[in-house]
């Protein structure tokens, strides 16, 4: 028996469960299953098209499906950590930009570092109360994001200590520690 499903938010748990049951499963790259723009994209037509492509693939047409790499659970964990770190960074930058935008809309020129403790203390003294109250919502979110990012970095450091594997904080690259490094 051979099965397949498109890679997506569900991860690779289903693939591993099927493999444990002895099913040869393929995880394939998601694609647009309505190439003719018919506007009839339903689960039924998607499943039929995917099944037909699987049949062609099994019969030898290796271009019928694009099979993706299935990472080990450990590799998937490292990917999740890296993605979380990136998402926290993006949220932090968005909060800083939103606060800066509000300041700019009221004639206050500030950098995206307006939320840093020293600058925030000075701003609290000179801003109108209503503006300070609005900014405080973003300031609290910014500080929370910064703490979460620090937590993610600490988790990676602990992971490195235990496994000897270095996970780059900026890109999704994993370097295996060699005995001589």
**pLDDT tens profile 34-65:** 666 666 667 788 888 888 999 999 999 999 99
pLDDT at position 156, please?
66
pLDDT at position 176, please?
37
Q: Tell me how far the alpha carbon of residue 47 is from its chain's centroid.
A: 27
Query: How far is the C-alpha of 14 from the C-alpha of 4, rounded, in Å?
Result: 10
Q: Where are the domains of the chain?
A: 2-58, 73-176
**Single pTM value for the model:** 0.54
Spans of the chain below 50 pLDDT: 169-181
The tokens for 93 are: 């930058």
> From the CA atom positions of the chain, what is the Rg in Å?
24
pLDDT at position 55, please?
92
pLDDT at position 165, please?
60
List, for residues 143-160, the tens digit of each pLDDT value.
666 666 666 666 666 666
3-state secondary structure 43-75: HHHHHHHHHHHHHHHHCCCCCCCCECCCCCHHH
pLDDT at position 35, please?
63
Query: How far is the C-alpha of 168 from the C-alpha of 177, rounded, in Å?
Result: 12
């Amino acid at each position: 028996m051979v099965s397949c499903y498109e890679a997506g938010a569900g991860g690779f748990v289903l693939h591993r469960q099927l493999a444990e049951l002895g099913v040869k499963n393929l995880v394939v790259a998601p694609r647009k299953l309505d190439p003719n723009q018919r506007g009839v994209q339903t689960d039924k037509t998607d499943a039929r098209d995917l099944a037909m492509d699987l049949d062609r693939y099994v019969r030898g047409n290796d271009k019928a499906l694009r099979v993706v790499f299935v990472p080990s659970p450990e590799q998937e964990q490292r990917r999740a950590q890296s993605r979380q770190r990136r998402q926290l960074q993006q949220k932090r930058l968005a909060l800083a930009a939103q606060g800066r935008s509000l300041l700019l809309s009221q004639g206050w020129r500030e950098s995206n570092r307006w939320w840093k403790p020293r600058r925030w203390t000075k701003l609290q003294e000179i801003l109108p109360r209503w503006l300070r109250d609005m900014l405080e919502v973003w300031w609290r979110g910014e500080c929370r994001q910064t703490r979460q990012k620090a937590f993610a970095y600490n988790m990676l450091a602990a992971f490195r200590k235990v496994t000897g594997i270095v996970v780059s904080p900026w890109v999704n690259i994993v370097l295996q520690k060699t005995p001589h490094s």
